[in-house]
Amino acid sequence: MARFMKKTHSLLYHVLIFVLAQLAWFSLLGLWIYWYVSNYIIFEQNAITPEALSGAHNVFTLVSGLVLLIVVSVGMSLMFIYLTRQVSLTRMYDDFIANITHELKSPLSSIQLYLETMQSRDLPKEKQDEFMNLMRRDIDRLNHLISSVLYMSGLEQKRTTRKYPHDYHIYQADTTLRELITESGRQLKLPEGHLHISGHAPCRCVIDRNWFRIVFDNLFDNARKYSTQPLQLNIHFSCSAKNIFIDITDNGIGIEPKELKRIFQKFQRLSSPDIPSVKGTGLGLYWVREIIKYHGGKISARSKGKGLGTTFHIELPVYKATKKRYIRNLLRNSSGRLKRHEKK
């Protein structure tokens, strides 16, 4: 409802600009018609020359006309910007629908093929188990896609906490973050030695393990999609008095400077001739940013250019050192009461 009201107010605002611009235009037209007709009548009745009419009246008409003309130009410019943004947004939604349809259809087709094969053939037990595992993987992929869309909808309506209950706890940052990173690396089946963790964060943080695991899953999967060679990930931890810093560096194709600011927006997917077959919904990095924001942190990206990889820089608040009220609210909203014990 809040989202609908916001859109309605935005629409009314631009309709008002359009109406005012039209009123200014008709006022300008009427002013110039009046000026022309009145001068024509004076010419006819008094037979005077145009030079005799120069004075305050003509200056007022000229200035008023210029002001109204500026108002019309500004109004039309604002409407053009608004329409351009709407066209761009519509194009992004169309791309999103096409991408999400493809992403949903692919695992469904795979599951259908496995089921039809199992029904039509007498497969050995080992092959059946293999097909079952593959179908479970595709089902997990479908579940992840659907959850992404629902989570985004919850973020838009500011109802994520109620729709998707969080489970925040106090953790030792170094130990917990290493565990989550290792789990994400295993899920993506990264070869041994392709995931390197350095540095230390000897401080405490308040996170939801499940949701923060999704952060690493999306960042690692994104790095793999945009790599033309075997993926190498370097994660570095550090800690200040108030913040925990996590730097995730990959050896991917890199990001152009002009693209760095928009990669965290909804439905944004980098298109590169080096990797023409990259698939996705354009929600991964947007989701990452929102999850980190709900943890009281922030994320940014930097890249030295094409072919030089990308580094994602994450900052999280240190427990009891900063954002005390916000962190207490996370803990309270997670369980309905402030945690009485701290998980190591």
Highest mean pLDDT among 15-19, 79-83, 151-155, 325-329: 325-329
What was the pLDDT predicted at 37? 64
Of 185, 343, 155, the residue nearest 264 (C-alpha)? 155
The DSSP H or E segment spanning 286 is helix 284-294
Q: DSSP states of 116-171 as a string?
A: HHHHHS---HHHHHHHHHHHHHHHHHHHHHHHHHHHHHHHHTT-HHHHS---EEEE
| Least confidently predicted of 27-41, 259-273, 311-325, 329-343 | 329-343
What was the pLDDT predicted at 280? 58
- Is the pLDDT reported for residue 49 higher than 60? no
The tokens of 94 are what? 């169309």
- Is the pLDDT reported for residue 56 higher than 70? no
- Is the pLDDT reported for residue 120 higher than 60? yes
The whole model's pTM is what?
0.61
What was the pLDDT predicted at 248? 94
- Is the pLDDT reported for residue 55 higher than 60? no
Q: How confident is the model at residue 83 (pLDDT cuts 50, 70, 90)?
A: confident
What pLDDT digit, counting tens, does each position of 138-181 carry?
887 787 677 666 666 665 555 554 555 578 899 999 999 999 99
What pLDDT digit, counting tens, does each position of 282-318 carry?
677 888 898 899 899 999 999 887 778 899 999 999 9
The answer to whether 316 touches 295, Cβ cutoff 8 Å, is yes
Q: DSSP states of 62-131 as a string?
A: HHHHHHHHHHHHHHHHHHHHHHHHHHHHHHHHHHHHHHHHHHHHHHHHHHHHHHHHHHHS---HHHHHHH
Q: How confident is the model at residue 247 (pLDDT cuts 50, 70, 90)?
A: very high
* % of the chain beyond a pLDDT of 90: 18
What was the pLDDT predicted at 60? 64
* % of the chain beyond a pLDDT of 70: 63
What was the pLDDT predicted at 233? 92
Taking the C-alpha atoms of residue 56 and residue 324, their distance in angstroms, rounded to an integer, is 66
Q: How confident is the model at residue 35 (pLDDT cuts 50, 70, 90)?
A: low
Taking the C-alpha atoms of residue 160 and residue 149, their distance in angstroms, rounded to an integer, is 12
What was the pLDDT predicted at 286? 83
What was the pLDDT predicted at 225? 82
| Least confidently predicted of 51-60, 246-255, 293-302, 304-313 | 51-60
- Is the pLDDT reported for residue 198 higher than 90? yes
Q: How confident is the model at residue 117 (pLDDT cuts 50, 70, 90)?
A: confident
What was the pLDDT predicted at 337? 42
**Residues 6+ away with beta carbon under 8 Å from 177:** 201, 205, 237, 244, 246
What was the pLDDT predicted at 173? 94
Average pLDDT rounded to a whole number, residues 197-205 = 93
Taking the C-alpha atoms of residue 155 and residue 8, their distance in angstroms, rounded to an integer, is 19
| Least confidently predicted of 22-31, 244-253, 261-270 | 22-31
